[in-house]
Amino acid sequence: MKTSREPVRKPPAAPEPAPLPAALPEAELPAHEREELRRAFETQRGFFGSLKSVDHKVIGKRYVITALVFFVLGGIEAMTMRLQLAKPENSLLGPDLYNQVFTMHGTTMMFLFAVPVMEGLAVYFVPLMVGTRNVAFPKLNAFGYWIYVLGGAFVYGGFFLNRGNDTGWFSYVPLSGPQYAPSHRVDIWANMITFTEVSALAVAIEIIVTAFKQRAPGMSLNRIPLFVWSVITTNFMVIFAMPAVMLASGYLALDRLVGTHFFNPAEGGDPLLYQHLFWFFGHPEVYIIFIPALGMVSTILAASTKRPIFGYTALVLSVVATAFLGFGLWVHHMFATGLPQLGESFFTVASMMIAIPSGVQIFCWIRSLWGSRPRMTTPFLFVLGFFFIFIAGGMTGVMLASVPFNLQVHDTFFVVAHFHYVLIGGAVFPLFGALTFWFPKLTGRLLSETLGRWTFAVMFVGFNLTFGPMHWLGFRGMPRRVYTYLPEMGWGPANLAATIGAGMLGVGVLLFLINAARSLRSGEAAGNNPWGASTLEWATSSPPPPYNFERILVVSNRDPLWKPEEMAVVTGMRTDRREVLTTRPLDAEPDHRAVLVGPSIWPLFLAFALAVGLVGSVFTPWAILLSGFLFLVAMIGWYWPKGEPSGHNARTAS
Amino acid sequence: MSSRRTVDVSRLPDITLDSGALFWWATAGLIAIEAMSFAIIIATFIYLRMTVTDWPPPTLPPPDLRWGIAGLVVLVISCVPIRMAEKIAGRGRPEEDRRRIAALIRVFLLIAAVAVAIRLLEFPGTHCKWNNSAYGSVIWTTLGIHLLEALAGFAEFAVVAAVLVGSHAEEKHLLDVRACALFWYFIVAVWIPLFGMIYVFPRLS
């Protein structure tokens, strides 16, 4: 084909922009107004003050740091499993502890790390990227964080008391039912689910409303940054997926605690109902983790090539299409349960269809890179790593969508290899790229590029060394979730390789943490926009002030900071109270000036009220009554007017 | 450079009482979550129904229609004072209207309390317990979850009414009346299919 050899027409390169304060002097406020604004939005000082914080940046950072702590805990669990499997008939972990450890690993990574870390970055960056001062519901945001931390502490408290769930991260009945799991291990797990899902739902509502109602004037739907589109989509998925798992774990808890029969076939229940409900959540969950990462990839690509991303509309539609398709796939986790074949074929087709929007995105990204001279920074390297690993994982995904193949490798290490390629490749690599990319905005300091490259290299090699051999192990018949194997199986060398790889992966994460710690102490100052990126979070200082922007900016294109001469500012906002500009959902014309709530201890109290019910109901159903009473108290305290004009800090008003 | 465009928003209102308000959106989001939850409960119903031959289990009569219909009717009636309160709230005159709105909410609270009392009679009206069979489990759970939702809506309105008669009532509390009303309409509307699942469905087979 001749046409394929023709040089590709370059997309228009962005002009080198002037730094914002110089290009847009109107964006600055007089000093006294700036001071007023700071007082209106700042978090109160002291320990008690920090508990009352409702600043999305404070809460977003807490989410990210907490999620990374859980990531390290989940990683330590992974390492102990790998050490146990390093050689045949190893005796580091017994079968019971091994069961607890793999369950805790999956639970931690899915519920306590992957979703919250993405939500945390969304909480931090969505208001900045759409150019507003805080999320729409600041107290709800704080509540979401507290309930998440309490849930994590609850399940780890159980684990340290030898009450870690041992029935797998999806805890299928009947194994997790009252008959086969009589201790409180599963009860703690089932209620923990409710904690984390309530948290995710709280974030979902506030992010969607913030993104639809508080965008900078002029930021019509077709100018929303791609990362924001990806988290909007994700949070719609949260709204429709999380209720399924809350009900699944709720029914399970009821079966266990008060003797209902949802999953008991002897009394008209059905164990498969649990699997349907769980995977109706569980498959979208994978996309809830993965779609924000797609937004990160687009964001980093655009900043690295200094060109607008190619195929904006196609990328947005692909993300939305992936989200829709994601709800039609859940049965492919259940191919081995003996469902009707016609049904299975339907889900095979649906699963393979996912390759279409994924392919569209990959080609848009390739086209965005084509002919550009990307800067080979650490975030960009992580994006390249994502391409390689995620495409490999996608390929095994297409293989697994086929029922006959699926049945052969069901419950083997092939599946373990597949989903780690998709999840680590598809979400963790972009996440580390994004953390490196946004670190300057979060902290005001740059990470070391040298250490960053080493981090990437060690993680990339370590990852492939860990999970590459698992494909082979799966083909050789090694089942998942066994604590050891016999030497005659011949699985020893590949397992040893995987264990060494896991060690490398751990070293890579450690390097990242060392890099972050060093940079926090003595890193190079970042300035407002170290990458020369185009989105609004780079229009303010690093880290941003409590009010985010001195004046709300007005945008007229998708890459406002690349064309600062086309920007404008909003005047006439009050600076003496917590005012945000709301705009209309489609074209972002100014609508009204809403007043946001301020610091409050009630979100923490409400989280405790809910925790009393969820922790207590493991032991007695009466805990629900106490919790209900506390809940009512918290609701009244949350809502009751403070007797001061709306939107002022108590300290300022007095 | 000097003739930079600015957008002056100082004349925009502080609050809006219609669907442009942030709190209205929050309520809509909450309703979306609840609607999904109830959709899954209905799916559970249908799924469990499909796995057994007899629904309700043999020798068990279907739930008592008497209390079921009474509960449904009272719930629908409870929307009337709420609709009136919501309309008045929409005028946006807190000082003039707040006592009248609070009075209407008190009428509502009375009716809603009757609905809750009837619900407590609906439980024994199922002729079974939650731990007899999967049929009993799903019916009791549905009645229970919907009761919790109704209690939450009841509590919301009780607090709003108390604030409205207090000295700190502002225009934003009128918005709360409208948002709470939206949530209550949902609670009543979702009960119609659930009523069908509990009371009509077992009579069809």
Domain boundaries, chain B: 73-204
Cis peptide upstream of residue A174 (ω within 30 degrees of 0): yes
Q: Which of B16, B166, B167 sits opposite A591 (nearest CB)?
A: B16
pLDDT given at position A654: 30
Cβ A508 vs Cβ A459: under 8 Å:
yes
Lowest mean pLDDT among A44-48, A541-545, A549-553: A44-48
Confidence class of residue A11 from pLDDT cuts 50, 70 and 90?
very low
Res B137 pLDDT > 80 = yes
pLDDT given at position A651: 44
E strand segments, A381-467? none
The structure tokens 């050789």 sit at A476
Neighbours of B90 (CB within 10 A): 15
Interface of A with B in 128-157 (CB under 8 A): 136-137, 140
Res A473 pLDDT > 90 = yes
Cβ B108 vs Cβ B85: under 8 Å:
yes
Q: Does B6 touch chain A (CB under 8 A)?
A: yes
All residues of chain A having their beta carbon less than 8 Å from the beta carbon of residue B140 are 260
Q: pLDDT tens-digit profile of A419-436? A: 999 999 999 999 999 999
CATH architecture of B73-204: Up-down Bundle (1.20)
Looking at residue A140, its amino acid is L
Q: pLDDT tens-digit profile of B140-180? A: 999 999 999 999 999 999 999 999 998 888 888 999 999 99
Q: Which of A244, A568, A581 sits opposite B40 (nearest CB)?
A: A244
Q: pLDDT tens-digit profile of A160-185? A: 999 999 999 999 999 999 999 999 99
Interface of B with A in 132-171 (CB under 8 A): 132-138, 140-141, 155-156, 159, 163, 166-170
Confidence class of residue A8 from pLDDT cuts 50, 70 and 90?
very low
Q: Which of A140, A239, A267 sits opposite B32 (nearest CB)?
A: A239
Among residues A443, A437, A541, A554, the alpha carbon closest in space to that of A130 is found at: A554
pLDDT given at position B168: 83
CA–CA dist A325, B169 (Å, integer) = 47
% of chain A with per-residue pLDDT over 90: 85
Q: Which of A136, A243, A258 sits opposite B22 (nearest CB)?
A: A136
Q: Is residue A640 helix, strand or coil?
A: coil
What is the dihedral sign for C-alpha A624, A627, A629, A631?
negative
Res A13 pLDDT > 60 = no
All residues of chain B having their beta carbon less than 8 Å from the beta carbon of residue A276 are 47
Q: pLDDT tens-digit profile of A77-100? A: 999 999 999 999 999 999 999 999
Among residues A206, A411, A232, the alpha carbon closest in space to that of B26 is found at: A206
The answer to whether the predicted template modeling score (pTM) of the entire model surpasses 0.90 is yes
Helix (H) or strand (E) segment spanning residue A590 = strand A590-595
Q: Which of B16, B41, B170 sits opposite A592 (nearest CB)?
A: B16
pLDDT given at position A550: 93
Q: Does A571 touch chain B (CB under 8 A)?
A: yes
Q: Does B3 touch chain A (CB under 8 A)?
A: no
- Report the residue of chain B nearest A579, measured CA to CA: B14
* Average pLDDT value for residue range A1-13: 47
Burial bucket for residue A42 (CB in 10 Å: 0-12, 13-18, 19+): buried
Q: Is residue A53 helix, strand or coil?
A: coil
CA–CA dist B170, B176 (Å, integer) = 10
Res A538 pLDDT > 90 = yes
Q: pLDDT tens-digit profile of A519-534? A: 999 999 999 999 999 9
Q: pLDDT tens-digit profile of A557-568? A: 999 999 988 899
Question: For residue A578, which phi and psi values (nearest 5 degrees)?
Answer: -80, 80
Q: Does A603 touch chain B (CB under 8 A)?
A: no
Q: Which of B5, B48, B168 sits opposite A643 (nearest CB)?
A: B168
pLDDT given at position B204: 86
All residues of chain B having their beta carbon less than 8 Å from the beta carbon of residue A582 are 20, 22
Q: pLDDT tens-digit profile of A106-157? A: 999 999 999 999 999 999 999 999 999 999 999 999 999 999 999 999 999 9
- Report the residue of chain B nearest A257, measured CA to CA: B131
Q: Do A262 and B41 touch (CB under 8 A)?
A: no
pLDDT given at position A340: 86
All residues of chain B having their beta carbon less than 8 Å from the beta carbon of residue A243 are 33, 36-37, 40
pLDDT given at position B3: 45
Reported ipTM: 0.94
* Average pLDDT value for residue range A212-234: 97
pLDDT given at position A621: 87
Chain-wide mean pLDDT for chain A? 92
Confidence class of residue A27 from pLDDT cuts 50, 70 and 90?
confident
- Report the residue of chain B nearest A280, measured CA to CA: B40
